[in-house]
Amino acid sequence: MTTTKDLDKQARDILKQNDRGGYTIPTKGLYPYQWNWDSAFAALGFAQFDIERAWQELETLFTAQWDDGMVPHIVFHQSDPGYFPGPDIWGGTGPVPSSGITQPPIAATMAHLIYQLDPQKGEPHMRALYPKLRAWHDWFMQWRLDQGAVYITHPWEAGRDNTPEWDAPMERIDPANVGEYERRDTQHVDGSMRPTKFDYDRYIWLVQMGKRLNWNQPQLRVENPFQVADPTMTFTLLRAQRDLLALGEALGLNINGLADDILRLESGAQSLWNPELQSFDARDVRTGEWANCVSNASFLCWYAGIDSPEQSAQLERVLSQVKYGVPSHDPASPKFDGRRYWRGPTWAIMNQLIGLGLEEMNHPLAEKLRATTRDLIAAHGFAEYFDPTDGSPAGGKAFTWTAAVWLSWAN
């Protein structure tokens, strides 16, 4: 019988094994670099047993911050041919080889939680990180708002690579001139669990366009056909700005503009309410069309401090349809696929963010979600993600963020 203590140890061992010296890779083989939001989860995991190492994880991530404030989604500290597309394909223009896009801004929220665990040790780290976090958030506010909601310029930016929300805008891309390339992901895990060739052709086409434009935001705004206002980005940035405001007030740091940013993002979040679907939803910036998807990102509203009885009804509905929620796509939709990456599977990290929001609002489903996530990991291990119908593990194994979620929330 595996006890909580055994699982705690296994989780700590995974973080230590995936530690590459100051930063953590998501999992050996499939993801050999530092990923932005993976690292933020890892930091909160480390904070449960090694608080200095937690701060170091975030500090290493910010060594890759670009001059314009953007913090890239992958940092290529040392080259590894096992992942495609690597540093040369991306041509990132920051101080450390990196990708040219970003990821959900959860670092400020994680930093706030780590700071609260030990304010005395955390204060110097937090003071140093604060202006960098502000610069990153300002970059979003300057370049990435549509009706106050944050839009993405690549499916990888939202962290939810192949969710059905991107199907229609991806259809509009003609990747005819993308050229030959060799995928590496399907050499590590079964292709049936990964995005399709249709998706990859367009992922790479978008990377090639960004590189050609030198990742220049004003030019990308004009040329990029893929611009989708996204609940993940909008809710996480809104939450992150609230965290910076609280930290800035507590530490006497510069909070100028934050209250206005929060108001703008609050109205942006409401602009993602799809009244016909009765859910928060993604919106195609180019066409104004709704994705018409209830995804796990729709349920990040509470994390952003927004309550919604209608969204609660949706949560109750999707949780009643699978054994292990929250599914990344609506099980009632014909596009639901329980094993294919972000088209149905359950992700412990999303459950943690949704769960934190529910707990803060004393929501009646809060405890159920935490208990389900706990049972899921205890029974099926530290997989990258899980089939929500039976909990079977999928994707990469010994995964950093699942171990971190266990330590910091689910255990």
Residues that bind ligand 2M8 (CB under 6 A): 26, 31, 35, 37-38, 73, 156, 159, 161, 185
Residues 6+ apart with CB under 8 A from 333: 164, 293, 294
Which residue of the set 157, 266, 384, 387 is catalytic?
Answer: 384
Secondary structure of residue 165 in the 3-state scheme = helix
User: Rounded to the nearest whole angstrom, what is the least distance from the CB of residue 31 to ligand 2M8 in the complex?
Assistant: 5
Q: Which is nearer to ligand 2M8, 26 or 393 (CB)?
A: 26
CA distance 310 to 312: 5
The verdict on whether 384 is a catalytic residue reads yes
Residue 298 burial (10 A CB sphere; 0-12, 13-18, 19+): buried
The verdict on whether 360 is a catalytic residue reads no
Residue nearest to ligand 2M8 (CB): 159
User: Rounded to the nearest whole angstrom, what is the least distance from the CB of residue 38 to ligand 2M8 in the complex?
Assistant: 5
Using alpha carbons, list the distances in angstroms from residue 352 to 14, 71, 150, 404, 409.
18, 23, 21, 10, 7
User: Rounded to the nearest whole angstrom, what is the least distance from the CB of residue 176 to ligand 2M8 in the complex?
Assistant: 23
Q: Which is nearer to ligand 2M8, 78 or 116 (CB)?
A: 78
Which residue of the set 38, 161, 243, 266 is catalytic?
Answer: 161
Q: Which is nearer to ligand 2M8, 70 or 365 (CB)?
A: 70
Using alpha carbons, list the distances in angstroms from residue 36 to 103, 107, 210, 280.
6, 8, 19, 25
Contact assessment for residue 11 and residue 382, using Cβ atoms and an 8 Å cutoff? yes
User: Rounded to the nearest whole angstrom, what is the least distance from the CB of residue 71 to ligand 2M8 in the complex?
Assistant: 13
Q: Which is nearer to ligand 2M8, 156 or 273 (CB)?
A: 156
The angle at the Cα of 138, spanning 136 to 144, to the nearest 5 degrees, equals: 95
Q: Which is nearer to ligand 2M8, 31 or 215 (CB)?
A: 31
User: Rounded to the nearest whole angstrom, what is the least distance from the CB of residue 160 to ligand 2M8 in the complex?
Assistant: 6
Q: Could you give the residue numbers annotated as active site?
A: 161, 384
